[in-house]
Amino acid sequence: MPVAERQHSSAQLCSELWRWFETRHQLRSPKSEIVAGFWPLEYEPDLRPLFNRLHATGTIVTLPVVVKKHAPLAFHVWQPEDRLNPGAFGVLEPCQGAVMQPAVLLVPTLGFNDHGERIGYGGGYYDRTLANLSTAGRPFTTIGIAWDQARLTKETQHSAQAHDYPLDAILTPSGWINGQPTR
């Protein structure tokens, strides 16, 4: 995708997510909300304007940190002025910050189907993390963030593996796939 198209599409994603969070915050206090975002790689959707806006409302924004290979991710609190360092795979991560358990996880999604099954980068970090959070018994919502072009067709269909964790919803610049998450 050309840079201008990525920027426009990222802005659409941020706007739709903001509307969803506004509705959610009518039911909950934003100060009690913990959201896990992700720092974008060059060709991923850029949600940083949303993170700044959420932070300004008092929402706690966290970013994933790879603690060690084949382990679940940890989510460290992020603030706009924080310094980030390249972590595993070159993804920028907070250098410090309290570790929190998010109630909403925005998950980078390279590919997806209409059943909420996602293709990531192949390391299994999000699958392990989501399974771990599920086992902990605390409720959370997962939203896959993807480009429209990432939707898998019948010709490119993906078969989920036993360890794959399905997402509650997927959002592309064109809108929600199979509806918005309700929790």
Is the pLDDT at 81 greater than 60? The verdict is yes
Is the pLDDT at 121 greater than 80? The verdict is no
pTM: 0.90
Q: Which domain holds residue 148?
A: 3-177
How far is 24 from 152, CA to CA, in rounded Å? Answer: 29
Domain assignment present for 119: yes
Q: How many domains does the chain have?
A: 1
Point out the least confidently predicted range of 59-63, 100-104, 148-152: 148-152
Most confident of 10-14, 70-74, 147-151: 10-14
Domain assignment present for 182: no
Domain assignment present for 116: yes
Phi, psi angle pair for 61, to nearest 5°: -105, 135
Q: Ramachandran region of residue 60, left (φ > 0), alpha (ψ -120 to 50) or beta?
A: beta
β pairing state of 169-172 and 175-177:
antiparallel
Domain assignment present for 105: yes
Domain assignment present for 79: yes
Contact 129, 154 (CB under 8 A): no
Buried b (16+ CB within 10 A) or exposed e, 36-67: bbbbbeeebbbbeebbebbbeeebbbbbbbbe
How far is 169 from 183, CA to CA, in rounded Å? Answer: 11
Domain assignment present for 134: yes
Is the pLDDT at 157 greater than 70? The verdict is no
How far is 149 from 146, CA to CA, in rounded Å? Answer: 8
Give the CATH number, domain containing residue 173: 3.40.50.10420
Domain assignment present for 86: yes
Q: What is the average pLDDT value for the chain, to the nearest integer?
A: 88
Domain assignment present for 183: no
